[in-house]
Structure 1
Amino acid sequence: MESFVFIALAPFALTLMGAVGVVAWRRRPVPGGQELAVICVTAASWLTFDALSLLVPGTEATLGLARTAAAISALPSVAWIAFLLSYTGRLTRAARWGVGLLASWTAVFVALGLTNDAHHWVWTSTETFYDGPFLDVIFERAPLSFIQMALSWVTVAASLGLALWEFATAEPKQRVLMRWIVAGVLVPLLANVVFVFEIGPYGKDFTPLALAVSAGAFALGLTRYKLLDLLPVAREALVDNLREGVLVLDATGRVAEANPECLQVLGADAAVRGRPLRDTAPALAEAIETAPDEAFQLGDGEEARYVELRISALSNEDGEPTGSLVLLHDVTRRRREQAELHRVNAELQHRNEELQARNEELDAFSHTVAHDLKNSVQGVIGWGEILRDDGAVLSPLEHHEAADGVVSVGHKMGTIIHELLLLAGVRKTAVEPHPMEMGAVVAEALSRLQHAGAAPTVTVPSQWPVALGHAPWVEEVWVNYLSNAAKYGGPTVTLGADTTATGQARFWVHDDGPGLTPEQQQALFEPFARVGSGAAEGHGLGLSIVRRISERLGGACGVESAPIWGTTFWFELPLASDTSLPEAPPRARRGTSPRTAPHVSV
């Protein structure tokens, strides 16, 4: 009766195994496809020879077919472990060697089983009996057969353990498929254990038919869960560990798949499986539709990230579109490095321009200051020669005049050297601005000019705003402005201060001189440029120093001038937080307000 059930179910099982084997063979390039086809072939062969041994007449034919079926029964276990290793992405070089050695031993065992009559190493004896009209065979196992049986169980148990591990670590969507794969391994193993240990009332080995359960599980996986299409079990090795984000959209734009890198780049709320991407990330959905050439920006400000989108259309075997595969490559680091490179290049360009400007200043120095120093040295030499050659015949007044000439030229040379040192110091010295009492600074500057005999007659305000600065430097600004007013201005010089819309204190010096043309104003604050004509003394460093000091203290400087109207030189410094400025005193001359005159700012 058992043999009748076996024969009745065999055609259905063979049909199922054949169908699964054909589909798997067509997809043999996919990891696991070729091994799945081998499982179906070996299981179908075992079932075919076992069923034929029951159907053929004659004892010899039955024994031959039964011996062949028993020998090849060792093959499916090797195919099982090879399939699971390949499908889960664990078929490494070492694993290939292991499977190869196991397959080689199994081939030797099959050969020994087919030639058992010559040596009896696999089975010591055979016994035939009738199960109804069918002649069946019982094999008395030799030690080698027990060794092979144990090896097959260990191999299948390892396959089962690997399948259970994948089931435990898989995502919910893939766990359903792994449940059927586990069943496909477990059912044949249990059927074989029941037969070997004679558990239950049945004496027939139904393991070949139990392998049809495996074929059914694979058929369900191929049709419903796309077993060899998306390789869900191999996600960890092939998709989850990718450094690029992988986003799969179906034909309607819904999110079908997103790997961890994609969720990290986009955010878990932007790629929700089953929801349209346009609902969760509309800007990204639009970018995918337009396929932009430039990187797509996610977020704003310092938290912004940039990704390059690589979009591929997905289609079925008939060429019909089924969705899109989007690879997201995070280029945020590269963009930031490029931005930093641009910043460094811009800074280098700025430094280069500064160096070029300094070189130009050095050129001007070699032509201007050296010329002035040469003239002064020649003056000293000239007066010295007079004293040396004609000192004996000079009158006391002439002696005094020659000595005064030497002293005057020496003072001029000292002034040039002082201003050169000051210009260099402003570039290099680091100072911290502090609130200044501007009245005292102005008084010190006027005192210096009076001592040198170059102080103009000035009008000063009764109160000054408190600004932030460095008093020794600001004193040099006043000295330069006041000395220029004394040289080139009119008889009256007015000092004052007011505020600007940017919260700066503006200090100014106005004179009633002839004024400056726009061309003269443009070059005033460059190094070695002179305010007036060549008739007046000067070596052109003063206003360059003013510009350097103003910029280093966080301010600016400039001039407002027009012919006949006069000239106003000004500089700005940051206001101290606790100051309040009085109303600026009037300083208009000749009916025109200095604040409405043409001006230039540096």
Structure 2
Amino acid sequence: MPALTRLEFTPYVLPLLGAALVAIGVAAYTWRKRHVHASATSLSCLMSLVLLWLLAYSVETLSVALQAKELWETVITLSQAFVGPVWLIFALQYAGRGDLLSKRRILLVLLPGIITAALTLTNPWHHLVWRDLRIVASWPMPSAFPTPGPWFWVLAFYRYVYVLVGTTLVLIPLVGSPAWHRSQSLLVALGGLMPLVGNALHIFDMTHALAVDLGPFAFVAGGVLLALGLFTYRLLDVLPVAQQAIFESMREGVLVLDGFGRLVDINPAARRMLGIPPQLPVARIPLQSALPAPLYADLHSAAPASAEFEMGREETTRWLRPGFYPLMDGQGRSLGKLMVLYDITQERRLAALRDDLTHMMVHDLRNPLTIMHCSTELLLDEVYAGLEPRHQRLLKMIMSSNIQSLELVNRILDLQSLESGRMDIAQEDVCVADYVKQAVQQASLLAEVKQQEVCVDIPEGLPPAQSDPRLLQRILQNLIGNAVKFTPEGGRVTVSAREQGGGIQVTVADNGPGIPPELQQRLFRKFVTGEVKQRGSGLGLAFCKLAVEAHGGDIWMESQEGMGSAFHFTLPILRLETNTPVADPALTRQDVG
């Protein structure tokens, strides 16, 4: 018994003990993270096995007696028996395939290790693990080398198979994965391969001159690489896990693209929206066929159009709105971009329902308002002269309010007709100058009251434009009327027209207060009004936009606060390919404001 406990110090044990401290640190850290990541527990167990291997190897190195070395060789073999299986379990969990690890399968993975442990403990009776233990007297100290038995090679084989399979599982996600994930996976893979190489050198006696088993050192080196993954890439921290969980559970579809526009990651929501099978690897996703052609072109565009698009057919139709966002690193360098797909199907359905209800209610209102208008006109014609002055004022107020209500109803109906494409557009050769003069004359009364100067700058010989006369009249009434309304007293409004780019460009400019930037982006939407007392219905500019676009033209604005505003729109000179019927008579009503 004293021989078993006799130890002789050698400097060689110091690096072993240092490596053991590293193993303790990694094992303790990963054990603390066991509630954060499923693979933390198995990694902690793996480093605990390496720690046992190192400590047993250290004591064997210090031991002098052959029996003591044989005892610690038994402990080393027991730890080696489970290194491969535990590494495979860790790799499965790290690769996100922990669902494969049922209790029965875990038992099957551990079964070779259990058999090896049983054979190692009973080796003196059958010598299947090693036949004998020989001591080689070499520098820097006598070392024990077992003579392999038949099961020794079985142990080495299944350990290498487990480590290689586990490493392959770690490397598979590298294809098409983000750069940070590739670096993380490479560290984990190297952490598994280094011990394999180190132990192979020892088994095949390639380190005989050193009299050193590099296996435990290689495992510690692998543990250090794993630790780098833990600290540098926060492998087991809660934040990346939470970020991944959010990415996977988002209702919006997210596609991660690198600097070359290649897909490197996609979340389940985007797969569902685009009809991509969940089991299809990211690297094999045919993005060009999965996305509409304009949206695919936006992936490589510096200024994506981000237009809404439709996916699916009939009952399964979905409307999606894309958004593009730059992907930057901590130093502000571009790594790529994110394409986020917002499902606006429900929004579209609600908008359609709202428009249908509005159309129904407004349409039903027009008949009683028309009857009221006719009745009021009859009263004005027949009994107005015999009424008292206060009753005459009331009757005029009723007539004025009725006209305003009827005009508002017609504006809403006209807007909906333009939005839905149901309004017929009559294309005629029109003299823009004539319609400008008419609109200026209609706004002249308010301009005189406000002591404004309204100028018309249209050159002679301007070719006629192709337009629906009634729509053009309303467009000009809206723009000129708004300019007069929002320009302060003593201001100036200029209406000009020029031939430009194969069309006629009309500009209505003023030197008023200008339009705030936050209002400019939504000025052409329905029910958006300026910040003045004389607000309109908020439908005039929305109507102008739809009417101009129905002619194939464009409308835009330029404004600076304190410098005035300018509204521009274009009309074609050449006839459109398709001449459409005459416009709806309801469009003859004025819509200023």
Query: TM-score by structure 1 length?
Result: 0.43
TM-score normalised to structure 2 length: 0.44
